[in-house]
Amino acid sequence: MPSQFRRPDLIPDADPGVLRRWGVADCDRVDRGALTRSLTRLQHDEVAPPSDVARLVRHIRDRYHRALVEVIGDAVALATACETAHSGEEIWPHGLSDRLIEVLEALEHHQQREDAVVFPMLLAETPRAAGAARIMEAEHARIRRLLDALHSLTRGFEAPAGACAKWRVLLVLCCKINVDIREQMRLEECELFSAHIRDTTEDSVCSAAMFR
């Protein structure tokens, strides 16, 4: 499923609205009020996930689906701006916007399949729900590989000394994307799909290895 965002090499300039919203339209004069407001929007009151399937599906949709797509979109815009400014620097994580777009496209495709097919099957408790859940787990494995690549490319989301404000905000978003996607997948595998897949082994998706 094609993403709503174009490849960065086809984007002449980063979206100035995104840069203003994050307070980094000018790295020499960071708008700390805008930056604080945007960082605050990233915070969520984390509560125990509902045990009821219908409420858990609603929680996943409300807490993760659209919010993650929006955060990744902002990260793509920031990465595009940073690549324009830092493309000649060896320490810049070259290809970062490409990696983010890969994550975005994989996630959008996955969420669309969940909303259109998988969640309705789980809610209706159809016999095909187990097969659908296994397909989602296979897609999760691919998304984890993309997140692992993102983690490696950004050196663990750590900003180097002297990184500009855009760069630092971008890495905050990349870290948030990584944490939230992994938590969404954990919820689905360990809370939502587990009732339909009883033969999952101890070293599978619910183990600590998924948080590498």
Q: Collect the ranges in the chain with pLDDT lower than 70.
A: 1-14, 45, 195-212
Q: Indicate yes or no: pTM above 0.75.
A: yes
Write out the chain in H/E/C secondary structure. CCCCCCCHHHCCCCCHHHHHHCCCCCCCCCCHHHHHHHHHHCCCCCCCCCCCHHHHHHHHHHHHHHHHHHHHHHHHHHHHHHHHHHCCCCCCCCCHHHHHHHHHHHHHHHHHHHHHHHHHHHHHCCCCHHHHHHHHHHHHHHHHHHHHHHHHHCCCCCCCCCCCHHHHHHHHHHHHHHHHHHHHHHHHHHHHCCCCCCCCCCCCCCCHHHHC
Candidates 97, 87, 104; CA nearest to 3 is 104
Query: pLDDT per residue over 124-151, tens digit each?
Result: 988 888 888 889 999 999 999 999 999 9
Q: What's the rounded Cα separation, in Å, for the pair 133 and 126?
A: 12
Q: What's the rounded Cα separation, in Å, for the pair 88 and 151?
A: 21
